Structure 1
Amino acid sequence: MKLPFSDPVLIFATVMMLILLAPLVARRIRLPEIVGLLLAGMLFGPFGLGLLERDATIQLLGQVGLLYIMFLAGLEIDLHQVKQQRSHSLVFGLLTFSIPLALGTWLGIWSLGMAIPTAVLMSTMFSSHTLLTFPAVGKLGLTKTRAVTTTIGGTIITDTLALLVLAVIAASTEGELDTRFWVSIGISMTLYVVGVVLLVPIIGRWFLQRFSSDENIEFASVLAITFLAGYLAHVAGLEPIIGAFLAGLTLNSLIPEKSGLMAKIHFTGNALFIPFFLLSVGMLVNLELLLEGPSTWVVIAVMVGVAIVSKLAAAYASGGLLRYSLQESGLIYGLSVNQAAATLAAALVGYEIGLFDDSIITGTIVMIGVTCFFGPIVTEHFGRRLAEQREQQSLTESDGAPHRVLLAVDRREQAKELLELGFFLRSGNSHEPLYPVHVVPEGSDTEERVARGEKLLAHTVVRALAANVPVSPSTSVDVNVTSGILRAARENRASIIALYWDGQPAGRGRVFGRSIDTVIERGKQMVVVNRIVSPLNICKRIILVIPPLAERQAGFSQAIQTVKTLANQSGTRLQLMIEPGMTQPVRKFIESVQPAVAVSLVEYRAARDILYELPALVATTDWIILLAARMGRISWQPRIDRLPHQLSQQFPTNNLTCIYPPEEQLAYRQAFEKRLDRGFFQQVFPQEHVVLNSSAGSIHQLLEKLLAGEFPRKQLKPMLARLQRISETEPVELISDVVLLHDHIAGIDEPRIFLGVCRKPLQLPLVRTAPHVVVVLLAPHDQDPARHLATLADIARIIRTPGMAASLRDTGSYTKLVQRVTDEHNRQE
């Protein structure tokens, strides 16, 4: 067979095989998947086995992959955090541009004997970088952290400055560096940026509103806008990566993080375009260039050394100035050390205008190869450590509270809107599924209505799974709809009940109608009643109406957090409409509640004037939310009960939501008040339930060792089979290296907790890394939900203690393990 392959079908088949196998092999030898794709490109490319040529097709798809990475970076960045911390991006951007530029210019002149223009042009290759490892950060759930946000913002600053210097030097060699040049490039860049920022949101909002029912058209419109913006950036004198990033940034608020459209965007990029880019970069590496002589080695050493050291200095200098942790600074370094697209562009331009010779091109290729292999390893290392810290911090801040959203679905036309709301209500770091429920009242046609309900929920499941959101649907039969909803909420331990309201007036003495009002009156959970008339993702602002004394009722903080979660997930601003007497501490509290969103305040004169002052404030794209109260509570007033219908009538084209805060604090908060000392550890993990340093080679063997002494053989066998199935279908990864299996069983009165630690890692299909530690929680069937949550919180409190996973792996004695826990407790005290 002739090499390289020329048959297009064979070329594509080979590339797809590499995209399939390279990550699997890399994972097997414990390397980042990105490194596997880079190595595959190097091994099978023109400088390796020669199976594939880096031809126009590979280059085209590689360029598409690069633009896709920049588009995703803009699409997933937290705009609220960018606005709050824009100075952070500016600091990092200037440092990561100036430090490599200064160090590279000095070494180019001093060690390589270059002229100043040549040295400066070479240094621009060190200043720019490519967000090669951004997909890896996305898999760790860190895309909206401040370190990643700062890096993305800094990338745009440094790449723009580097490419601007490149354009200036290229123009100076051709004698075009005059006033006309500066005016033309300034005008074209300004017109382009302003045009994209103003027009793309309008066009995107029109498409997403007009074709909200056809996700294929939505997807095609987003891609068309992105690549058109990339091309127009090239026309304006900028690099296409700048245009792709701006497109993602301007579409950010229109594409929810958890939606079918976002899932399609991620799937297409991660499965096809981005791997093509990584393979194309790997194909550039030619190890034979290292044999060209000592002078080439000097150039290579200088270029690789400056790229690695200068980016390290910039990352940690920025982290020190901005008071970031070592893990955050390390993650910034891992993201910014990678050299690829802009670096290669600068090298080729320098070669074409005669400033660079073959040794610089050789050094550039080697530098790209070294940094692209080094960067993913650094990113993976610091990213995992930061992810573990965030998981622990998140659990501590939320007091281990479950975030379970129950959606009461009655008709098909309600299902899509309620499901979209569920995506927004579900916090970004939640592992809990959504719980769509359809209740059928008992009657003569019950079976037929149950069948219709199951068909209705099937559509809901398909849409949710397309958005990569887990769901747990159920159809229940009860004496009436209200009883069925409340029973489903208790059985699933839901924290939020979301209901659909058609906006029509209720009967005398009712707010929404008999069913909804009864759920509000009898339910203790947060109840969210919604009239949805337009897609939630096209809303520009949320207006939250807070009636007098609302801050004094139970559940106020949870309600505020829910509203801010809606604003964060939908990418909108939040405006609070408050009473004049609301104290400054309460205002500060509202602004401090996570997640962080842009908050503004406006005061109404009195509660009776809310309805008359809103029209001057509300625009057609606003989402109105009323913080309501149940009858008899401190903030309840008869006029507040009349507001939902009045708002529905006065603002027929605006989405309207009424939030009733939860009635009571759950008992799981007490778990975090317990001291992590010797007694607490022994109470949660008694010695007879702990197996350390086990030689078990499978999860079944470990489970058998843990449970054999506790249950009779007749009960043990089906229990092991069930736990084995749970380990394969629904394991809970508490932290990296630790997995929880929990189940409800008959025949016990108290929860029983077991802890097993293996010498060798266990292979579980749905866990990111092969764990050494397994925790088993067996709870009684009829256990109180609050008690169950408190037990889970106790387990998490211990396991998520810093260094606990390492202590469990390294300690072979229960006594020594307890002593370590005590020492850690004393150190924290």
Structure 2
Amino acid sequence: MDTFFEHLAHEFELPLANPVLVFTLILLIILVSPILLRRLNIPGIIVLILSGVLIGPHGLNLLAKNSAVDLFSTIGLLYIMFIAGLELDMNEFRANRNKSLMFGFFTFIIPLGIGLPVCYYLLDYGFNASFLTASMFATHTLVTYPIVSKLGVSKNQAVAITVGGTILTDTAVLIILAVIMGSESGGLTTDFWIRLAVSLTIFLFIIFFLIPKIAKWFFGKLQNEKHSHYIFVLFIVFAAAFLAEISGVEPIIGAFMAGLALNRLIPHSSALMNRIEFIGNALFIPFFLISVGMLVDIRVILSGPMALVVAGTLSVVALLGKWLASLCTQVLFKYSGTQRQLIFGLSSSHAAATLAVILVGYKAKILDENILNGTIILILITCIIASFATEKAAKKILKNSEEDYGNSTEPVVYDEHILIPIANTQNMEKALEFATLVKDKKSTYPISILRVVPNNQEAEKNIGKAKDKLESFTRDASASETATEVIATIDYNASNGIARTAREIMANLIILGWPRRKGFIQKLIGEKMEHVLTYTDKTLFICDFQYPLVDHGRILVMAPPFAELEKGFILWTAKISALAQELSTPIVYSCNTETRKAIEKYKQENSINAVYGFEEINSPEDFFTHTGKLKRQDLLILISARKGAISHRHGMDNLPARTEKHFHQNSKIIIYP
């Protein structure tokens, strides 16, 4: 018995050494801390940082800052930067790259300009120490980014320019760090500058040229190996981080660049994106936040007045510099006060890059212990203030956007119901992926997947088989948190079953596959469409995807004259815009002047970030005469019309057959509003 108690006491010796017990404690903190303090309206990020302070070596000493904690902390930090790059709306970023450059300039030069004289004259440090400390003020870590991501405001323009500015200012600061370290070692030679420039050039070539090609090939070859996709993404993140490190910059830059490189290949509503965010937000990122808290030593404030003076000065200068940078950005680009607060909240938290700069400077004996201790206190203060500022601003933006939806003159389709009739389960995956990407995220209805079983003696047996087969295809939709339901019905005719089910479930959008029987395609498409078009008033998408959706380089849309006057104009315009935003793909419209004005008006009123281009045509016939301009991986969308509609033309009656004839190698969609 004594041996048992001795063994038990040994297991609970502080700091805890048993890896199973350590991991259990971390998971308990991640699970319980936000729940306990939720009623106090304290952001979860602060709770996790304070938990790290409590259990860390400078608190209750439950955990030591060992290699295992450092490993998970590094993974979490790289994960934050990777998700920030992955979730960045590239259309928004491209549209506002000049704004990102200006914000990056403000958030770099203003804190640096304030911090250098304060450290040099007020705190009386040498030039290198002052310059290095001042550059630390210019850095910021996107610790509060999970807040805007969770609340669904990550696509706001203020977020886009802040994330874009982050990479610019952090890269500049980390290059300054490399230069100062080279200066201290007497290494600022021509060879140093050549080596840095060459290594960064090679690094950028690998990230933005080789990795997208490899990823595109991998996703295409292993479409059904979903678990391999996630492992591949993790490999790319850490490989990019390592490449950045050997190139002379910090690994966080590599992780962010990896997110940018894979941005187009991982749609925001995809199952893979959901898996990446879920695992990161559930485990790796909380671990990083706890590890940040473990660095904080509250006792440093008792070590003497100089520590208090340095900590207070550093914190004030850091917050003031970031607030002035966000104010200049607001004034220059005429943002709202809430957007200014959001920019300040995202950019004012100091953690990863700050620690990288200060720890390197401390170990090289450029900086003293007071700067190190003051920086740790600065990290705690800025993370707390940034968390409150970000959450308050994000909630206000979310509330304002919902009020704008409520006051909009256009009807908002929150009750959207998509029906996918499946005849061939081989095309099921692409049709379901397409529906997931274009589905209105505010709709409470699931995507309905329909299989019509012939009404014969085997009907009851076949209907059970059909349901079982369809259920196995809904896992991807479930992984992306998109609700689905499977419907199997009996009817003498597939078209009758589709039309009847669409009426029963009140579907307002039907996605049909493209039938393939050589020699009979016109007849088959015509029969099926004619029946569905005649007996339903639903918007109909007929889809033929030759390639994975993420492989398409452009979306080409042909809209006939008077398309803007049809009742379904808003719906199909919204769906095409949603698809373009998810895929970060430009849209080129072929239409007349009136339709172009209507599309531009819709884009402006709904703040659409997709890149639009226009090509004027006055007749659908003009489009078919320019087939040579199409590239193999262009997604072609043709807007048709039902008979009797104002935009209907005689040539539309055999549009599917003509499209198959001219564009058989292209992915294509025909829309009947």
Q: Shorter-chain TM-score: what band?
A: over 0.9
Please tell me whether residue 156 in structure 1 is matched to residue 167 in structure 2: yes
- Find the aligned partners of 1:515 and 1:415 in 2 and give their Cα distance: 18
1:609 CA drift (Å)? 4.4
SS state at 2:335 partner: coil
Residue 317 of structure 1 corresponds to which residue in structure 2?
Answer: 328
1:247-293: CA deviations, max 9, x gaps? 11121111111222112111211112111111111111110111100
Residue 42 of structure 1 corresponds to which residue in structure 2?
Answer: 53
Distance 1:401 1:318, change over 3 A: same
Contact 2:512 2:543 in 1 (8 A): yes
Return the structure number with greater helix share. 2
- Find the aligned partners of 1:246 and 1:445 in 2 and give their Cα distance: 56
Residue 589 of structure 1 corresponds to which residue in structure 2?
Answer: 601
1:611-635: CA deviations, max 9, x gaps? 3422x22222221111111123233
- Find the aligned partners of 1:651 and 1:29 in 2 and give their Cα distance: 60
SS state at 2:65 partner: coil
User: What does 1:121-200 align with in structure 2 at a 5 Å threshold?
Assistant: 121-200=132-211
1:184 CA drift (Å)? 2.4
2:535 to 498, 522, 542: 522
What's the TM-score once normalised by structure 1's chain length? 0.76
Q: Which runs of 5+ in 2 are unaligned?
A: 1-11
- Find the aligned partners of 1:508 and 1:202 in 2 and give their Cα distance: 35
1:603 CA drift (Å)? 4.3
2:645 to 603, 619, 633: 633
The AA in structure 1 aligned to 2:506 is: R
- Find the aligned partners of 1:207 and 1:196 in 2 and give their Cα distance: 16
SS state at 1:254 partner: coil
1:348 CA drift (Å)? 1.4
Residue 411 of structure 2 corresponds to which residue in structure 1?
Answer: 399
Contact 2:142 2:347 in 1 (8 A): yes
Residue 104 of structure 1 corresponds to which residue in structure 2?
Answer: 115
1:157 CA drift (Å)? 1.0
- Of the two structures, which has the highest relative contact order with CA contacts closer than 8 Å and spacing of 6 or more? 2
Residue 389 of structure 1 corresponds to which residue in structure 2?
Answer: 400
- Find the aligned partners of 1:433 and 1:350 in 2 and give their Cα distance: 55
Distance 1:505 1:522, change over 3 A: farther
User: What does 1:526-537 align with in structure 2 at a 5 Å threshold?
Assistant: 526-537=539-550
1:643 to 655, 665, 672: 655
Please tell me whether residue 11 in structure 1 is matched to residue 22 in structure 2: yes
1:506 CA drift (Å)? 7.9
1:195 CA drift (Å)? 2.8
1:191 CA drift (Å)? 2.7
- Find the aligned partners of 1:343 and 1:395 in 2 and give their Cα distance: 43
Contact 1:411 1:456 in 2 (8 A): no
SS state at 1:355 partner: coil
1:507 CA drift (Å)? 5.4
1:676-731: CA deviations, max 9, x gaps? xxxxxxxxxxxxxxxxxxxxxxxxxxxxxxxxxxxxxxxxxxxxxxxxxxxxxxxx
1:270 to 277, 281, 290: 281
1:200-224: CA deviations, max 9, x gaps? 2111111111111111111111111
1:305 CA drift (Å)? 1.0
Contact 1:405 1:497 in 2 (8 A): yes
- Find the aligned partners of 1:303 and 1:179 in 2 and give their Cα distance: 34
Distance 1:50 1:259, change over 3 A: same
Residue 669 of structure 2 corresponds to which residue in structure 1?
Answer: 657
- Find the aligned partners of 1:377 and 1:459 in 2 and give their Cα distance: 44
- Find the aligned partners of 2:406 and 2:413 in 1 and give their Cα distance: 8
Identify the range of structure 1 (528-537 vs 455-464) with the bigger mean alpha-carbon deviation.
455-464
Residue 706 of structure 1 corresponds to which residue in structure 2?
Answer: none
Contact 1:511 1:642 in 2 (8 A): no
Contact 2:270 2:437 in 1 (8 A): no
The AA in structure 2 aligned to 1:155 is: T
User: What does 1:441-460 align with in structure 2 at a 5 Å threshold?
Assistant: 441-460=454-473
1:567 to 576, 580, 585: 580
1:570 CA drift (Å)? 2.1
SS state at 2:161 partner: helix
- Find the aligned partners of 1:590 and 1:19 in 2 and give their Cα distance: 44
The AA in structure 1 aligned to 2:641 is: A
1:564 CA drift (Å)? 1.4
Q: Identity rate of aligned residues, in percent?
A: 35
Distance 1:362 1:508, change over 3 A: closer
Distance 1:446 1:286, change over 3 A: same
Alpha-carbon RMSD = 2.2
Distance 1:546 1:505, change over 3 A: farther
1:337-385: CA deviations, max 9, x gaps? 1111110111112112322111001101111111122222221111111
User: What does 1:492-531 align with in structure 2 at a 5 Å threshold?
Assistant: 492-504=505-517, 510=523, 512-531=525-544
1:23 to 34, 38, 46: 34
The AA in structure 1 aligned to 2:664 is: P
Please tell me whether residue 225 in structure 1 is matched to residue 231 in structure 2: no
Distance 1:583 1:377, change over 3 A: closer
Residue 387 of structure 2 corresponds to which residue in structure 1?
Answer: 376
- Find the aligned partners of 2:77 and 2:658 in 1 and give their Cα distance: 51
User: What does 1:762-777 align with in structure 2 at a 5 Å threshold?
Assistant: none
SS state at 1:36 partner: helix
Contact 2:557 2:590 in 1 (8 A): yes
- Find the aligned partners of 1:591 and 1:399 in 2 and give their Cα distance: 15
Residue 462 of structure 1 corresponds to which residue in structure 2?
Answer: 475
1:53 CA drift (Å)? 0.9
2:589 to 558, 576, 597: 576
Residue 790 of structure 1 corresponds to which residue in structure 2?
Answer: none
- Find the aligned partners of 1:214 and 1:544 in 2 and give their Cα distance: 32
SS state at 2:264 partner: helix
Residue 634 of structure 2 corresponds to which residue in structure 1?
Answer: 622
Contact 1:629 1:660 in 2 (8 A): yes
Q: Which runs of 5+ in 1 are unaligned?
A: 662-829
- Find the aligned partners of 1:271 and 1:584 in 2 and give their Cα distance: 45
- Find the aligned partners of 2:341 and 2:195 in 1 and give their Cα distance: 40
Please tell me whether residue 418 in structure 1 is matched to residue 431 in structure 2: yes
1:592 CA drift (Å)? 3.5
Identify the range of structure 1 (132-141 vs 349-358) with the bigger mean alpha-carbon deviation.
349-358
The AA in structure 1 aligned to 2:609 is: A
Residue 422 of structure 2 corresponds to which residue in structure 1?
Answer: 409
User: What does 1:786-801 align with in structure 2 at a 5 Å threshold?
Assistant: none
Residue 669 of structure 1 corresponds to which residue in structure 2?
Answer: none
- Find the aligned partners of 2:392 and 2:522 in 1 and give their Cα distance: 61
- Find the aligned partners of 1:200 and 1:29 in 2 and give their Cα distance: 45
The AA in structure 2 aligned to 1:146 is: Q
- Find the aligned partners of 1:231 and 1:499 in 2 and give their Cα distance: 46
Contact 2:162 2:346 in 1 (8 A): yes
Contact 1:68 1:244 in 2 (8 A): yes
The AA in structure 2 aligned to 1:654 is: N
Residue 207 of structure 1 corresponds to which residue in structure 2?
Answer: 218
Please tell me whether residue 60 in structure 1 is matched to residue 71 in structure 2: yes
Distance 1:395 1:475, change over 3 A: farther
